[in-house]
Amino acid sequence: MSSDTNYRSAGSNDLDLASLFGLSGKTAVVTGGSRGIGYMIAAGLVTNGVDVFITARKAEACDAAAAELDAMSDTATCTSIPADMADAAGLASFVATLREHTDSIDILVNNAGAAWGAPLGEFPEEGFDKVMDINVKAPFMLTQELLPELERNASPEDPGRVIMIGSIDGIRVPMGDNYSYSASKAGIQMLARHLAGHLVDRNLTVNSIAPGPFESKMMAYMLADDDSRQMVEGNVPRGRIGSASDIAGAVIFLASRAGAFTTGAIVPVDGGISTVRLG
């Protein structure tokens, strides 16, 4: 090393916003993209020039959401491929249809999820099987199936990205009786780290995001009236629930050149619930 090194390198790459966070021209898959967090993520990607394929179990809802998302951009498209990702035949059908449209994927967001609550002592086996199948098995199987497409355009400078949507309930101990949900979210967050370790030398990064409360069907019962909404917001150090810009921003970071050096991470997007809440 030269003795006059000043340690003031700005690197050889552009550091402007468009270069660091630009995603225009990329292709993404977002599961569970017809509503809630999945829709917010898809909207953030489409708005920034990413061609997005969304999937959801209900065809009508998936088609309607894709039409709305497609209209958000003049430079990118959104395509609906309805499928039940928890079912092997449904997943295979989705992949086959996807391959009719594209032979490469730059970003895979495994977002589709389910929850189940029941008192301890009454929690049914079905409540574990369904949640684990949708929240853990399906993301693993889809990621495994799409490895060729994820690797096609991947490079050391711009790796393919897999983003798992976990939950703060996979980090903290929840107050509720959603036992299979918390187990599944802890599982998908560990699975992301495990996959990251095995795919890092294949120019693929795998990270997970752990959201707190957002507007979604899963949270609808807690946000339905002003009193319960205020209770939820009062438990968030930032004093509000998450917005589309919060979750889309985290995904854009992980999917862009700014996030190319990040893999195996769990990123809480929860207003500080799992990180700074006192007491």
Backbone angles phi, psi at 102, to 5 degrees: -155, 155
User: Which segments within 141-202 are labelled E, that is strand?
Assistant: 160-165
Both tokens assigned to 207: 């990270």
Please say if 39 is a catalytic residue.
Answer: no
As given in the structure block, the two tokens for residue 171 are 């980090």
For residues 12-45, b (16+ Cβ closer than 10 Å) or e, as one string? Answer: eeeeeeeeebbbeebbbbbbbbbbbbbbbbbbbb
Question: How many CB atoms are located within 10 Å of the residue 2 CB?
Answer: 5
Cβ atoms of 151 and 205 closer than 8 Å: no
Return the closest-CA partner of residue 163 out of 262, 94, 254: 254
The answer to whether 263 and 232 have CB atoms below 8 angstroms apart is no
Among residues 7, 39, 179, 181, the one annotated as catalytic is 181
SS3 (DSSP) at 11? coil
**Longest Cα pair distance anywhere in the chain, in angstroms?**
70
Token readout for 105 is 């994927």
Catalytic residues: 181
